[in-house]
Amino acid sequence: MQVPAQFQYEKATSVAHALSLLGKYGPESRVVAGGHSLIPMMKLRLAQPQALIDINDLTELARISVENGALCIGAMVRHAELLASAVAGEHFPIFHDAEHLIADPVVRNRGTIGGSLCQADPSEDLSAVFAAVRAEAVIEGRDGQRVVPVRELFVGPYETVVGDDEMLIQIRVPIRSSASAYQKVERRAGDWAVAAAGAELRLDGENVAEVGIGITAVGAPRFHAPEAEEFLTGGPATDERFAHAGRIAAEHCNPVPDQRGPAGYKRHLAAALTTRALRKARARWNTEA
């Protein structure tokens, strides 16, 4: 049986309390949210925090709301809650597409948005979703809050700009007129992505006025595809150009072969899924227009 190394356990009663506990125990402490990533890593001794700060009582971080024209998703919102959120689905159907495909109901009932982003797993779905919609991350430390574009949140695999003494508090996405979609290939239902891509589009007549593309599991730098976005912006929203954008996105990925498939297959999927996500977003735009 795998058991974690010994650790101190504290239950935070507020964000300020959690931050003060992080300060008290120092860099060897970690907050625990859903625990679906951290606890298995502790059991395998890949993580050995000396103190765990439980933030599950912080109901102020568990809300989805619209404030000042932005959709605000608290760090402690569970996957299942984002999946069920009518307001999130209405403005950003990409969230519903992705959440429907993340893990299984057991993981979705417990795993949190903040935990997913802070884990920064290279195959994580929401990193690509939030990169596609150009979300902002609100990070809090004892000196106050700072706001970082999600596209700048990730430093590398399993590493973010959230400091040892800070917490991710909220994700914000300005609400605007757009359509979005997410496409994923997995080996079986509930599995991590072999590859996945998301797109958000705003059209001006036949042309692409704005576009965001997020990609995961294929080594896309910081989970997005700026070269493909640049190619598409201002030009006609045609199938041919979407396919070319998919190829551009795939060229800038760096997939590694593993049990989910060879690198060439994953690169092929990156192109195909980017193209499909763009097409689906366009179809939604045309339906709503």
**Residue numbers of the site for ligand FAD (CB under 6 A)?**
30-38, 75, 102-103, 107, 111-112, 114-116, 118-119, 124-126, 162, 167-168, 192
| Tokens at 130, concatenated | 């939030």
Asked if residues 10 and 54 have their Cβ atoms less than 8 Å apart, the reply is: yes
Give the residue with the Cβ less far from ligand FAD, 71 or 245.
Answer: 71
Give the residue with the Cβ less far from ligand FAD, 78 or 282.
Answer: 78
Residue at token pair 């120092």: 26
Distance CA 213, CA 226 (A): 7
Asked if residues 131 and 150 have their Cβ atoms less than 8 Å apart, the reply is: yes
What are the helix and strand counts (H, E) for the chain? 11, 13
- Cβ of residue 121: shortest distance to ligand FAD, in angstroms? 7
Give the residue with the Cβ less far from ligand FAD, 97 or 282.
Answer: 97
Asked if residues 2 and 44 have their Cβ atoms less than 8 Å apart, the reply is: yes
- Cβ of residue 232: shortest distance to ligand FAD, in angstroms? 26
- Using Cβ positions, the residue closest to ligand FAD within the complex turns out to be 115
Nearest to 198 by CA among 285, 273, 103: 273
- Cβ of residue 258: shortest distance to ligand FAD, in angstroms? 15
Residue at token pair 């179809």: 283
User: First CA to last CA across the chain, in angstroms?
Assistant: 56
Give the residue with the Cβ less far from ligand FAD, 32 or 228.
Answer: 32
Q: Counting every residue, how long is the chain?
A: 289
- Cβ of residue 262: shortest distance to ligand FAD, in angstroms? 20
- Cβ of residue 103: shortest distance to ligand FAD, in angstroms? 3
Give the residue with the Cβ less far from ligand FAD, 220 or 248.
Answer: 220
